[in-house]
Every structure is written in C-alpha cells, then in structure tokens.
Structure 1
C-alpha cells in the first residue's frame, strides 16, 4: 500500500502559521490578513473608489473634529454672531442663516448627525435584510414563502411613504429617523442574500456539514454567513448613500429632530425662512452640495467594492 500523501501547504501561509504555533487559529488569521491584502490591492485599481474613499475619510475627519474646530456654540440661536441671512463674506464664508449663525459651522456640525444617521440606518437595514434572507434561504418551505411575500409587500410599497408614516406616528428624534429608514429599506438586501444563500447551500460541503451533525445554526453561521458577507458589505456601502438622502428628505419635510442640526434640517430652515423666494442661494447650496458629495462618495466606494467582489464586472476607472 502506498504511503499517505501529506496535504499541500500554501507557502505564503506556512511561515506565519509556524510562527503562531501552527494552530488553526493562526492559520485562519493569516488567511484573513492575506484576503484583506488582496482586497486592498484590487480596490486600489479603481480610481473612482479611491476618490470616494478619500472624500469620505476627509469628511469623517471634519465631522469628528467639529467640537474642536467649530465648537458647539455655533448651534446657539441666542449667541449668533452675525445678521440674519447675511451673504458670504470673509467673516462668514458661506453666509449666515435666519438667526445669524455661520452656515459654514452649521454645515460642518450637521455632518456629524447626517453621517451617523445614514450609517446606523444602513446597518439596521442590512442586518434585517441579511437575517431574513439567510433564514428564508436556509429553511425554505412555508417559512420562506411567508418571508418572501412580506418582503415583496415592502418592496412594492413606496419607501418614503412608509418612512413618513413611521416618523409621523413615533416621537420626533434621531432614533425614530434611523428606525423609519432601517425598517423600510431592507427588502432588496433580503432578496439578494436569499439568492446567494440558495447558491451556497447547493454546494457539496453543506451536505457534508449536515451529514456530520451540523445543525441549522452551525450551517448558517459557519458556512452561509461568511459566504454572503461580501455581498452584505457591498450592499451596506450602497445603502448608506440612500439612507443619508432619506434622512435629509425626512428632515426637509419637518419630521426630523428639531433640537439637532443636520443637512436636511438646514434645508428645511431655509424653506421656512423663504430663502428660495428671496434669492438667498447661500442658504440652500452648501447643505445641498454636502448631501450630494457624500451620497456620490458612498456610491463610488460601493461600486468599487462590488467590482472587487465580483470580478466579472471589470475594473471601472
């Protein structure tokens, strides 16, 4: 009888595994690092994705340092330093609002709320969609039928109308806005994740895992979830931009939290102050451009991530 053949070892993984003791955890960490390195190399080939990432990094830095560079006093109505709706000048580069507050400071401070709401709403939306998609794809039968019919109902209903209804019924707060956006934008993610789950569970190693005694939770968490995570990541980056736009829309309609400053809230204040009819363009343009830039940056990053995870889409430059 021929002697057993030792399994082949990846030469790029073997040295690191030996340094970490050669255990499965060290091997898994090395593989994750190698996968992240390959992802970054492929991502760098997308110039539009790099542009979007650099823009988001700059905006995140501005938002995080706003308490130090701008200060929270910019939100005060009683201590406003300028005249109401003053045009741009050296003292106020973007002009002032209806209370005499600096629009530059308000736009910078409002980035904290808009980015936070967009990120949390997108995470909530993707979490709901991934949960429903994985469970519906795994259990199938009557459970999958019920879940997909509920998904179809949410899919055909106008998202903005549902969000407005929730924001109207519940109290006006940032939590309400996040909940309203999150629970109305998950159907697309659910359908995509379910399709990917069905494809993953048709592979032979899933049958082997079940034959070896793997339960439902083991199969979904150890085999299905890691394979659908790239899709979930790409979907998250794409939903964040639409979540920011939805937050701005709800705030513009007067359904946001009146105690905080956001880009949509600034547009709502400009509308109430009559900036459109009065020709005060500087009251409308800065928050509108900020919303457009962030939405475009997240979209560029999302498209680049999607192209990296799906090479058949090709390299977009």
Structure 2
C-alpha cells in the first residue's frame, strides 16, 4: 500500500513530522495531566505564586525593602494598613513577603536546574561508558549520596562569599546524586534496546548515540525530577538563609525567618513575623511536589497503576 499523494502527512518534511509528533505528545501529556486533580491544584498554586513574583515590581516595588523611612512602627501587629504587620524596622511584612517570592523562586529554580543538569550528564555518561569511567563516576556519586546534603551546602556557603550565586552553587553541586542514579538506570535500559545496536552498526559515535537516542528517552524522567527538585531547592535556600548564610542585601522568605529569629519574635509571640513566610515556603514546596508527582505518573503510567 502506498501513501496518498494528496495526504499532507505524506508530503511533510522530517521537521514538520517531528513538530507534529511533539504536538501530539504534548496533547497526550496534557490529557493525562488534567485527570490528576492534585497536579492541577499544584499547577494552579504555582501559577499564582509565579504571578505574585512577576508582578512584585509593579505591586510593591523595591522601596518596600528600604529600612529608612519605613511606613510603620517596629513589630506592629496586623491592621488595616498592614495586613501582616511590620518587621523590626517598621517595614510592611506583606510587601516583603511578595518581594521575597522573587528571590526564593528564582534561587530554587536555578539550583534545581543546575542539580538536574549535573545529575543528567553524570548519569548518561556512567550508563553509556562502561568499565573504569562508570566505576569512578558512581563512586563519586555514592560519596555525595551518603554525605548529608545540608552539611555540604553549609560548608560550601561558608567558604564562598555570601551571595545568591553561592546559594545556587551550594545547593546545585550537593543535590545531584539522586538524579544521577535515576538517569543512569534509565540509560542502561535504553542502551539495551535493539535500535542502539543498529545506531552503532551504522557508524554512530558516542556523542551521536547519547545526544540523539539516549537523551530524548531520559528527558521525561529529567523533567519530572526537575519539578520535584525545585521544591527541595526552595526548602534548602530557606534553610541556608535562616542560618544566616544567604545574601544579606536581598529579601527572601528564609531571610524573613532569620530576621524574625534575630528580633525575638519567637519568645515575644509575634506570630505574624513567623507564620506567613513559613506558610509561603511550605505552600510552594507542596505545589511543586504535587505537580512533580502528577508529571511522574503521567510519563510513567505504571506508577499510577501501582498506586
């Protein structure tokens, strides 16, 4: 049977066919994702947090972080003028919470991308190359895996200068081993398929096989792992900022918690100083976790059947 000459699909070039396959895959993914109520709830929450962070320069502006000319009295409770009260400098805590969302989300996203990128490179390399190369990479991965991630991040953040780049680097280079393990296992499964042998037989080199055949097949796992890693990165950033290792010149949710501790909000019972940043951190972490679990289940239907 020959293809109809008038069929658009038969006349389309390779790039057009690839775009059609990507659109169909995206449509199937969305059809499966929207059946997950928890995932949709997490996605709605993430859209809300993203809108708050993106519109922060318009809604509150950078002047909200200034300690000079603060509009309220220090440690003032919630009121009509200040719905979440004021901090120890008299600044509006609601404005600081909105402005701090930009830093917390940005650091969490960049740290997660760095962590997943390192883990993907190590995992694919260890899964593709056998022998001494894989052994060395996996022993390094095991060393990072057994070491406490927070302790390594604290040590790295202490040695380097206090900045957002240091926080991103500290989280990214200490939290990649789990991704490397998962990607390596998936790479080994892909490498055992017949078309990989045909690619080698036709003269495909290592870079061709890893970039054209292995990487596209592990990308769904990488996507799900990135979504899950962002929540861990947000929590790690808040922890480091709470311990006083963050950038003191910027406002973040973890930095607000550290300011509340330094101001004695715990002992004095000033709950409005502590609760809102904690709820924001927990809310973002939960939203990313719900989305990540939904993405993971859609990309691997066996997980949904197991649950």
TM, length-normalised to structure 2: 0.97
Secondary structure at the residue paired with 2:145? helix
Identify the residue that residue 9 of structure 2 maps to in structure 1.
17
Identify the residue that residue 314 of structure 1 maps to in structure 2.
304
1:183 to 149, 153, 173: 173
1:254 to 244, 252, 255: 244
Identify the residue that residue 273 of structure 1 maps to in structure 2.
263
Identify the residue that residue 122 of structure 2 maps to in structure 1.
132
Aligned partners of 2:169, 2:116: CA distance in 1, in Å?
12
Residues 1:305 and 2:295 are matched in the alignment: yes
Identify the residue that residue 46 of structure 1 maps to in structure 2.
36
Instruction: Quickly say closer, same or farther: Cα 1:80–1:316, change in 2 above 3 A.
Output: farther
User: Does the CA-based 8 Å contact 1:126-1:232 persist in structure 2?
Assistant: yes
Identify the residue that residue 283 of structure 2 maps to in structure 1.
293
Q: Displacement, 1:16?
A: 5.4
Unaligned runs of 5+ in 1: none
Identify the residue that residue 98 of structure 2 maps to in structure 1.
108
Instruction: Quickly say closer, same or farther: Cα 1:183–1:79, change in 2 above 3 A.
Output: same
User: Does the CA-based 8 Å contact 1:129-1:190 persist in structure 2?
Assistant: yes
Unaligned runs of 5+ in 2: none
Aligned partners of 2:128, 2:43: CA distance in 1, in Å?
35
User: Does the CA-based 8 Å contact 1:17-1:30 persist in structure 2?
Assistant: no
Aligned partners of 2:131, 2:181: CA distance in 1, in Å?
16
Residues 1:144 and 2:134 are matched in the alignment: yes
User: Does the CA-based 8 Å contact 1:304-1:316 persist in structure 2?
Assistant: no
State the number of aligned residues. 306
Q: Displacement, 1:113?
A: 0.1
Identify the residue that residue 193 of structure 2 maps to in structure 1.
203
Q: Displacement, 1:313?
A: 1.6
Q: Displacement, 1:316?
A: 10
User: Does the CA-based 8 Å contact 1:16-1:30 persist in structure 2?
Assistant: no
TM, length-normalised to structure 1: 0.94
Report the aligned-residue RMSD: 1.5
Aligned partners of 2:196, 2:62: CA distance in 1, in Å?
54
Secondary structure at the residue paired with 2:119? helix
User: Does the CA-based 8 Å contact 1:263-1:287 persist in structure 2?
Assistant: yes
User: Does the CA-based 8 Å contact 1:124-1:182 persist in structure 2?
Assistant: yes
